[in-house]
Amino acid sequence: MIYIWKLTIRLGVLFFIVAITQPGMVLAGSVDIPLKQWIAIEVPESGKGVFYGDSVENGMKHVTPAYSPLDGRIYFVGGDYSGPGGFYQSYRQETYSLSIAERFADKANRNAGWRLEYPYCGPSGSVQPKHPDFVGWAWDTKRNLFWLVPGVMEISVNNCPGETSTRTSDPGFILNHLMTFDPVTRKWTDRGSNIGASQDTWMSNYDPLTDTLIRIGFSGGSGAIASVYRITKNVWTDYSLGLNAKGEVIRLYHEYAAIDLEGRAVYGIDGISGRLHRYRIDKHRIEDLGPVPGGAFGLGNKTHIAWDSINKVLAWYDYERRAFHIYHPDTRKWESNLPIATDIPGVNAQGRLLVFDPQQNVYLLMGGTESDIKPYFYIYRYGILR
């Protein structure tokens, strides 16, 4: 019986991988853009989507994206950006989604493709996350819903009725709990306070083969750890990851994590040491894949990566140095400093959020907090399925 269950799950994973990489599903109806050319698209109006305007006062950071194969949309949670009226605020509580296909089909309409999935202040009697900042946000292919995994959640003076400025949950606003969001019913569900020991962490990934959430974190006692949450058992297990190839501490807890389901790995870049790492899901061990292009830049929370499940490559937008790179796991080589010029003369792609849309076969890059921020987000297609 156990064997049959494992086989069923394994076949489910294979089906999911094949489904999102078949030519008919990936290329038919996908946006028509040239290869290896960034396309700039105007951001939505304030209050109509994840808005970050055209200046540092209206920036955007710490927003976590995740793709849903259920409807082909990218969903956004947490972080700092401007809401209705252009009012910039940290730890935003609403949830937006974006259909790249719908937005691209109506490029003259800034708000096309964007949809408010859950308001800043939800209806009475409901629950929602209380001021998420950078949090895990992963699509569960078994249950067809998103998991929100703390992460960092904060307090604010910009609260809803019934919401307090204390570091405790309120009846409708839940602090530091696992939560799920159903995009069909558009409702949040509180999954409890068991969030494990490593909280000051950004991303989590869902693995359908083991039905677990994976969060690369840090423990003061053991350094870098992989925290694995077994959903059906409500149990976290921490696996020590040791040191990097130079004998240094690995710091991935404030960085993006990109999962390669087919390759059974999670990638992360340690910005402090400037090294690429690959966590082997089934062995609970980490590999040091060497220095990244340009080397260390001594900062965390700035390595924005995403896995391209079509072309089997890892993309990294280096926000600090305004550079774009592609890593090939099969050869362990980087394509460095790919052009970031867009289809609009004088505008270069930049952002502090990167996610891959497998239905459209494009990367989405957006956001930033510097004075030269432009009122665009950007899409990019690296290659086509061969």
pLDDT at 11 (0 to 100): 40
Q: What pLDDT shows up at residue 6?
A: 36
Count the neighbouring beta carbons within 10 Å of the beta carbon of residue 385: 13
**For 245-273, how does the pLDDT look when each residue is reduced to its tens digit (9 = 90+)?**
999 999 999 999 999 999 999 999 999 99
Distance CA 292, CA 143 (A): 36
Q: Judge contact between 177 and 170, C-beta under 8 A.
A: no
How far is the C-alpha of 360 from the C-alpha of 348, rounded, in Å? Answer: 22
Question: Mean pLDDT score of the chain, rounded to an integer?
Answer: 90
pLDDT, tens digit (0-9, with 9 covering 90-100), for 78-103 = 999 998 877 889 999 999 999 999 99
Question: Which residues, 6+ apart, have CB-to-CB distance to 276 below 8 Å?
Answer: 267, 268, 269, 288, 289, 290, 291, 292, 327
Other Cβ atoms less than 10 A from the Cβ of 22: the count is: 12
Architecture of domain 2-380 in CATH? 6 Propeller (2.120)
* 29: alpha, beta or left? (left if phi > 0; alpha if psi -120 to 50): left
Structural tokens at position 244: 């990097």
The CA-based dihedral angle spanning residues 310, 313, 319, 324, taken in that order and rounded to the nearest 10 degrees: -100
Q: Where is pLDDT greater, at 23 or 144?
A: 144
CA angle 112, 349, 353 (to 5 degrees): 70
pLDDT, tens digit (0-9, with 9 covering 90-100), for 306-360:
999 999 999 999 999 999 999 999 999 999 999 999 999 999 999 999 999 999 9
pLDDT at residue 20 in the model: 42
Q: How many helices (H) and strands (E) does the chain have?
A: 3, 28
